[in-house]
Homo-oligomer: A and B are copies of this chain.
Amino acid sequence: MKKYCDMTAAELEAEYLSVKAKYNELCAKGLSLDMARGKPGPDQLNVSMELLDKVTSDSDIHSRDGVDCRNYGGLDGLAELKELFADILKVPVGNVIVGGNASLNMMFDMIAQAMTHGIGAEPWMKQGTVKFLCPVPGYDRHFGICEYFGIEMINVPMTAEGPDMDLVEELIKDEAVKGMWCVPKYSNPDGIVYSDNVVRRLAAMKPAAKDFRIFWDNAYVIHPIFGECAELLSIFDEAKKAGNPDRVIMFTSTSKISFPGAGVAAMAASDNDIALIKKRMNYQTIGPDKLNHLRHARMFPNIEAVHEHMKLHSAKMRPKFETVLNVLDFELKDCGVARWNKPQGGYFISLFAPNGTAKRIVGLCKEAGLTLTNAGATYPYGIDPDDSNIRIAPSFPSPAELQVATELLCTVTRLVSLEKMLNL
């Protein structure tokens, strides 16, 4: 097949009628499909069921240090689990806090703390306008936290090796820029792994704001789909080397290792920041659910056990990603109207349709029975300035459903691209 851009008007017309007919056929099927949610499928949840047998009425309910995990206490989590997360995040164990079931909650609380109490300086709420750099496309819930707190968001385009660092280094000259969101490994939704160069520049840069922090959401730190887990340079070490020890606050969780709703979240930060965070937590809670910590510590005695376990997940994910990627290749490669990434890990495939078409594509998919993440959701304020990016979440449906769903998505992408080219 010719590329659409090489077609004559008559060829485009014919193609349009053919694609339109195919779309109508698919509509007539009364489909009900969903590629919107970045949540593990039931098959993935099943691989962690033994977690639920790690603490029962017959079990010893004491941690390695003899803590009765049923009772109050232990602000920063069980020692054995802190060690595990220290290994996962590649930071010293003293810089880790293990919390409840949601890293999002830890991020929200961290921003809330900075707003009301500051982080090494005056409370952000008392400093006037606060701005955050947001690599785009990105994670809608990061942007949501900023929106809730009235933090102004500035888009920073992603490159193949991470955020556009020239732009970042320019933007941080504004003292109101207090922070930046990063998903450094298998980024949401692009699946990009930050290069060593990007990590070093992020660690070494000199923002005007003395209380600038990178919110380093390493949600997919240990989540390869194809092959070995990617290497990511330690920003914690690089920042220390560069004389910016307080540069980064790191987050991760077992949401996509054990159970999304009943996992364990963790964070890490510099000595200074950990002290500030613990001071706040001291007022906020008597401690996390240590029985759930104990379950996880027993299920994952060390990082090797986690790597082994992640193979079970990637085995479930691989055919799903392959299905979507194959259909995209088959349906969209030749006509040349869209581009997409081929992630090696994480939870998403990021599709870029022609500018000005994403909303209509998502809308027409919806009409045909396929739910996708709202167009724009991957950008601050829900506004994709190019109206181009569509986030595909292949984890929840079955490969068979993904086949049909992606065929529909491709058909619609072609249809709307043709409409645009034909000024329909």
Contacts and interface: CB of A to CB of B under 8 A. Distances in A.
A278 interface: no
A49 B42 CA distance: 28
B283 A144 contact: yes
A45 B68 contact: yes
A44 to B, nearest CB: 9
Interface residues of A, number: 57
A101 interface: yes
A296 to B, nearest CB: 12
Contacts of A50: 57
Count of this chain's copies in the oligomeric assembly: 2
A283 B40 contact: no
B288 A101 contact: yes
Given A57-B50, A68-B45, A148-B280, A104 B285 contact: yes
Which of A112, A141, A290 is the most central at the interface, judged by chain B CB atoms within 10 Å of its CB?
A: A112
A151 to B, nearest CB: 12
Contacts of A49: 57
Contacts of A262: 69-70, 289-292
Given A289-B292, A291-B259, A291-B262, A283 B42 contact: no
B289 A289 contact: yes
Contacts of A40: 71
A74 B285 CA distance: 22
Nearest to A287: B261
A56 B57 contact: no
A291 B112 contact: no
Contacts of A105: 284-285
B260 A72 contact: yes
A290 B39 CA distance: 15
A37 B72 CA distance: 10
A116 B149 contact: yes
A319 interface: no
A40 B71 CA distance: 7
B291 A261 contact: yes
Interface of A: 37, 39-40, 42, 45, 48-50, 52-53, 55-57, 59, 61, 68-74, 100-102, 104-105, 108-109, 112, 115-117, 125, 141, 144-145, 147-149, 255, 259-262, 280, 282-292
8 smallest A-B Cβ distances: which pairs?
A262-B291, A49-B57, A70-B259, A148-B283, A108-B284, A72-B260, A101-B289, A45-B70
23 contacts: A37-B72, A39-B71, A39-B73, A45-B61, A45-B68, A45-B71, A52-B59, A53-B56, A69-B262, A71-B260, A72-B260, A74-B261, A100-B289, A102-B287, A104-B286, A105-B284, A108-B284, A116-B116, A141-B286, A144-B282, A145-B284, A259-B291, A262-B289
